[in-house]
Amino acid sequence: MLKAVVLLPLILAMTLALPVATSCRTLNNHTVCILDIQRSAKNYWQYRAAISIDGIAKPAEFYNCRDRHIVQKDGTRIKFDPDGIGNFICRLYKPLPLPQSATPL
Q: Taken in order 55, 32, 36, 74, is the CA torsion positive or negative? A: positive
Q: What total of structural domains would you count in the chain? A: 1
Residue 47 in domain: yes
Length of the chain counted residue by residue: 105
Residue 1 in domain: no
Cβ atoms of 20 and 35 within 8 Å: the answer is: no
Cβ atoms of 25 and 32 within 8 Å: the answer is: yes
The parent domain of residue 47 ranges over: 20-90
The reply to whether the predicted model has a pTM over 0.75 is: no
Q: Is 49 exposed, middle or buried (0-12, 13-18, 19+ CB in 10 A)?
A: buried
Residue 2 in domain: no
Residue 101 in domain: no
Q: Where is mean pLDDT largest: 10-14, 49-53, 96-100?
A: 49-53
* pLDDT digits 0-9 by tens, 20-51: 456 888 988 999 999 999 999 999 899 999 99
The reported pLDDT for the residue numbered 101 is: 64
